[in-house]
Structure 1
Amino acid sequence: MSDYNILILSAGRRVELVNLFKKASMDLKINSKVIAADCSETAPALYFADKKVTLPRIDNPEYIDKIIEISKKEQIKLIVPTIDTDLLLLSKNQDYIYKNSGAKVLISSEDVISICRDKIKTQYYLEKNGFKVPTLYNKDSQIIVFPVFIKPVDGSSSINAFKVNSIDELNNYSQIIKNPMIQEFIKGDEYTVDVFLDFNSNVITIVPRLRMAVRGGEISKGKIIKNKTVIDEVMQLMKTLKPIGHITVQLMVTKEGIKFIEINPRFGGGAPMSIQSGANSCINLYKLLMNEKLTYNDDYEEDLVFLRYDRSICLKDGIIQNDKSNNI
């Protein structure tokens, strides 16, 4: 029987994702090792994987070659990126990685990544293709209706993203934030939508999650809701954009209709919510690696509320001390 080994890059705190890949392989009764990689030896997710490896930082010239080296050694079938800063580099090098290691990278085309990684490009793409977005302002615009929202063009995890109430605040934040973009501040119900597409960009699942609470740019409380309007609109976007793999779309349902905020072409931090509701991207990926053909379905459970929380692990000599790792 073939092995279907997975390499998760920049594993960091993605303990849930590591465990869900491990559970998926057990549920499917296939041979698979989940290898977690990070530049930090104290990244928590490393200690839940079947094997942990240390990679150089992304800006290291040897980063791609080290991924190839590990992929060959561990007979990796699929490489899963998890952070934004990896995406463009991996997209540019995905053919090189596959040619030299046989490992497929779960990544969209360079054109798609380029659109998604630059929020102004995302804005223009959405507008051009008939999707609603918040109004985009120039800092020197004659008329700006406050409040507005300011964030970095290539930002992630809501770092340096702020609501701005006055021109003085805007001027101050514009000095702090490198390459800022300024948008209309919109009100409504905010959704994160997990989408899974196969390697030919066919949509397999679309799961809207109402963002009930957010912490550090990631959803901390969410509810699965089969909002048909949201599903239909996201389906049209996916058919237009044609990404690959697990995609995270953020949008607002407003009085004026759905307005898209951003598209993250990777597993988002809250993706385990959708996976555990039944839209199991981990199982789907294994099935694709086994050359199974998947079709669109909505066979996941709705009205589930997920509450995320932190826990600690205790290490001694690089080994988890189970009796000291419970939060009390």
Structure 2
Amino acid sequence: MTEINVLILSAGRRVELIQAFQKAGQKLNIKSNVVAGDCSDTAPALYFADRTYKLPFIHDPNYINSIINVCNNEDISLIIPTIDTDLLLLAENKIYIEKKTNAKVLISDLEVIEICRDKVNTQKFLEKNNFSIPKMYNDSELLSDNVKYPLFIKPISGSSSINTFKVNNKKELNIYRDIINKSIIQDYIEGEEYTVDVFLDFESNIISIVPRLRMAIRSGEISKGKILKDREIIDNITQLMKILKPIGHITVQLMKTKNGIQYIEINPRFGGGAPMSIQSGADSCENLFRLLMGEKLEYNENYKDNITFLRFDQSVCLDENMELL
């Protein structure tokens, strides 16, 4: 029986993702342990994993070596990042980690990560390659009386919609610029917001593209979503991926507006709502196992269309010894 062990970093609340990997392993009759690591020993996902490790904080000098130790202890085949702050560090250390272990790091090339993690870099990349994105304003333009409000402000390297604001006038703009240390300011746009889950193999070949209408959002993460095989989105994302060339599971956010598709951001990792696409049939976890077993995958749209997902919280109860009841 094939054995493929997976390490999920910063596991946090990613219970659905852990269960998706476990389910995929069972389906393929793979001997697999899903190992969860986190800096907090009360991260809920730890209590659903097959093995658990408490890791240092990401900025700790021992963080990378701690990952290497876990990989060697647990014979890890694949390392999965789940949060934005991990990405640059893992991309910079990918070769080192893979040399010291038998694991593959599911991270795109450093150039791709640098484009995606910096909103200004994302803006310039999309503009250069003729993809629509809300206009970005520089300081001199913002001093002009000709600026039309509302605008939108967000951190250059932010995530989870933290410190993102609609700006209605110059007074608000000054307040928000004081709050956010390094920001990007764009036109405020309206329309239907989509998250698109894309899966690409290790050579950046597209395997699946799943648009999800964001029906409701909580703390920057989708809480209600609907899978829609929108041909315009699928075709546009296909063009984008062929130029960007990431690998693995990629999460793209965009809006369909009266002026067409407008991109918001690109997150080169599993997004919080990825289990919706996985459950619809575009199973990135199964795809990863198959790739690691040497299979060649082809592009397909073999996932259910027009289905709605409603997400909710669930509690984990621990006894006085911090063990699962």
Quickly name the TM-score band, shorter chain normalised. Answer: over 0.9
- 2:155 is aligned, of 144, 152, 155, to 152
1:33 equivalent in alignment to 2:33: yes
- CA deviations over 1:63-83 (Å, ceiling 9, x no partner): 001100110110000000000
Superposition deviation, residue 52 in structure 1:
0.7
Other structure's SS at 1:32 match:
coil
Superposition deviation, residue 138 in structure 1:
2.0
What residue is the counterpart of 2:74 in the other structure? 74
Superposition deviation, residue 39 in structure 1:
0.3
1:198 equivalent in alignment to 2:201: yes
Superposition deviation, residue 182 in structure 1:
0.4
What residue is the counterpart of 2:174 in the other structure? 171
What residue is the counterpart of 2:253 in the other structure? 250
Q: Distance between the aligned counterparts of 1:59 and 1:38, measured in 2?
A: 13
- 1:221 is aligned, of 217, 224, 231, to 224
What residue is the counterpart of 1:126 in the other structure? 126
What residue is the counterpart of 2:312 in the other structure? 309
Q: Distance between the aligned counterparts of 2:206 and 2:276, measured in 1?
A: 19
- The aligned amino acid for 1:291 is G
Please list every run of 5 or more consecutive structure 1 residues that lacks an aligned counterpart in the other structure.
322-328
136-145 or 41-50, larger mean C-alpha shift: 136-145
Other structure's SS at 2:77 match:
strand
Asked if the contact 1:2–1:31 (Cα under 8 Å) also holds between the matched residues in 2, the reply is yes
Other structure's SS at 1:211 match:
strand
Asked if the contact 1:201–1:242 (Cα under 8 Å) also holds between the matched residues in 2, the reply is yes
Other structure's SS at 2:31 match:
coil
Over 6 Å off, 4+ runs: none
What residue is the counterpart of 1:283 in the other structure? 286
- 2:323 is aligned, of 305, 319, 322, to 319
Superposition deviation, residue 3 in structure 1:
1.3
- The aligned amino acid for 1:204 is I
Superposition deviation, residue 145 in structure 1:
1.2
Please list every run of 5 or more consecutive structure 2 residues that lacks an aligned counterpart in the other structure.
none
Q: Distance between the aligned counterparts of 1:127 and 1:135, measured in 2?
A: 9
Q: Distance between the aligned counterparts of 1:202 and 1:230, measured in 2?
A: 18
Superposition deviation, residue 262 in structure 1:
0.3
Superposition deviation, residue 2 in structure 1:
3.4
What residue is the counterpart of 2:210 in the other structure? 207
Other structure's SS at 1:315 match:
coil
What TM-score do you get using the length of structure 1 for normalisation? 0.97
Q: Distance between the aligned counterparts of 1:175 and 1:4, measured in 2?
A: 48
What residue is the counterpart of 2:3 in the other structure? 3
Q: Distance between the aligned counterparts of 2:174 and 2:237, measured in 1?
A: 35
Superposed CA RMSD: 0.7
What residue is the counterpart of 1:324 in the other structure? none
- The aligned amino acid for 1:255 is K
After the TM superposition, which residues 107-118 of structure 1 pair with which residues of structure 2 at under 5 Å, given as runs? Answer: 107-118=107-118
- The aligned amino acid for 1:71 is C
Q: Distance between the aligned counterparts of 2:139 and 2:268, measured in 1?
A: 28
- CA deviations over 1:253-298 (Å, ceiling 9, x no partner): 1111111110000000000000000000000000001010000000
Q: Distance between the aligned counterparts of 2:126 and 2:297, measured in 1?
A: 28
Superposition deviation, residue 319 in structure 1:
2.0
Other structure's SS at 2:301 match:
coil
Asked if the contact 1:248–1:264 (Cα under 8 Å) also holds between the matched residues in 2, the reply is yes
Q: Distance between the aligned counterparts of 1:244 and 1:281, measured in 2?
A: 12
- The aligned amino acid for 1:318 is M
Q: Distance between the aligned counterparts of 1:122 and 1:180, measured in 2?
A: 13
Q: Distance between the aligned counterparts of 1:53 and 1:173, measured in 2?
A: 39
Asked if the contact 1:137–1:144 (Cα under 8 Å) also holds between the matched residues in 2, the reply is no
Q: Distance between the aligned counterparts of 1:144 and 1:54, measured in 2?
A: 49
What residue is the counterpart of 1:189 in the other structure? 192
Superposition deviation, residue 6 in structure 1:
0.1
- CA deviations over 1:214-253 (Å, ceiling 9, x no partner): 1000011000000000000000000000000000000011
Superposition deviation, residue 137 in structure 1:
1.0
Identity %: 62
- CA deviations over 1:102-140 (Å, ceiling 9, x no partner): 110000000000000000100000000010000111244
What residue is the counterpart of 1:84 in the other structure? 84
1:234 equivalent in alignment to 2:237: yes
What residue is the counterpart of 1:325 in the other structure? none
What residue is the counterpart of 2:49 in the other structure? 49
Superposition deviation, residue 320 in structure 1:
1.5
Asked if the contact 1:208–1:230 (Cα under 8 Å) also holds between the matched residues in 2, the reply is yes
What TM-score do you get using the length of structure 2 for normalisation? 0.98
Superposition deviation, residue 152 in structure 1:
0.2
